[in-house]
């Protein structure tokens, strides 16, 4: 017989990919079907993390640097992202969303929120509150040092933002 912790871990492993597949399909079929989930995640990350570099995006999205470079090149070509020389360290190139990139991300984000809202609307308020509480607990567990997010933590030292603690619904969803 497995422990409650083991059962919980198995549920997380089973449910998160299912949710991500549903969101991915919705983002692809939305107003901007050409926006892939890695592109969506990259736009979300860049919107929350001023001063982020290609390496930061690669670590967040879980890609090797060459793959992330190709992804960012596509976003730059689509005029959704800019590359700028860091004003403090001219050897560094930082990425930023263009106004079009911000709009594209917002539409995809709103679509994903509407999808999740419609999927969970039939649940009782108690169940929804329990899910929100569980998501907050998981955020805290996976935001701790050693959780894998450490590789993006240097952004905070450069003046960027790394979400921690209580976050808005937008930041919670935008982390995927």
134: containing domain = 4-174
pLDDT of residue 1: 74
pLDDT of residue 2: 86
Residue 166, H or E segment: none
Show Cβ contacts of residue 45 under 8 Å, excluding neighbours closer than 6 positions: 52, 56, 57, 60, 61, 174
Contact by Cβ (8 Å): 133, 95 = no
Task: Divide the 176 residues of the chain into consecutive groups of 10 and give the mean pLDDT of each group.
Answer: 91 92 77 75 89 93 94 96 89 93 85 90 96 93 65 44 40 43
pLDDT of residue 109: 81
pLDDT of residue 160: 44
Looking at the DSSP bridge assignments, the partners of residue 85 are 93
pLDDT of residue 73: 96
Question: What domain count does the chain have?
Answer: 1
pLDDT of residue 52: 93
Q: Assign residue 43 the CATH number of its domain.
A: 1.10.10.10
Tokens 């079929």 belong to: 29
pLDDT of residue 62: 92
pLDDT of residue 145: 66
pLDDT of residue 26: 76
Integer CA distances (angstroms), 159 to 50, 68, 156, in order: 7, 22, 5
| DSSP string of 43-110, one letter each residue | HHHHHH-TT--HHHHHHHHT--HHHHHHHHHHHHHTTSEEEEE-SS-TT-EEEEE-HHHHHHHHHHHH
pLDDT of residue 164: 40
Looking at the DSSP bridge assignments, the partners of residue 128 are none
């Amino acid at each position: 017989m497995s422990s409650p912790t083991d059962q919980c871990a198995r549920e997380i492993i089973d449910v998160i990919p299912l949710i991500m597949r549903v969101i991915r399909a919705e983002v692809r079929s939305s107003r901007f079907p050409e926006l892939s989930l890695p592109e969506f995640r990259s736009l979300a990350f860049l919107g929350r993390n001023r001063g982020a570099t290609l390496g930061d995006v690669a670590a967040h999205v879980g890609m090797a640097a060459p793959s992330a470079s190709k992804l960012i090149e596509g976003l730059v070509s689509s005029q959704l992202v800019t590359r700028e020389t860091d004003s403090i360290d001219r050897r560094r190139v930082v990425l930023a969303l263009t106004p079009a990139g911000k709009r594209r991300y917002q539409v995809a984000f709103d679509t994903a929120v509407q999808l999740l809202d419609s999927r969970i609307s039939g649940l009782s308020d108690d169940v929804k509150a329990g899910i929100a509480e569980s998501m907050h607990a998981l955020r805290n567990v996976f935001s701790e040092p050693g959780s894998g997010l450490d590789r993006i933590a240097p952004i905070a030292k450069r003046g960027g933002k790394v979400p921690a603690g209580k976050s808005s619904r937008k930041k919670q969803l935008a982390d995927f």
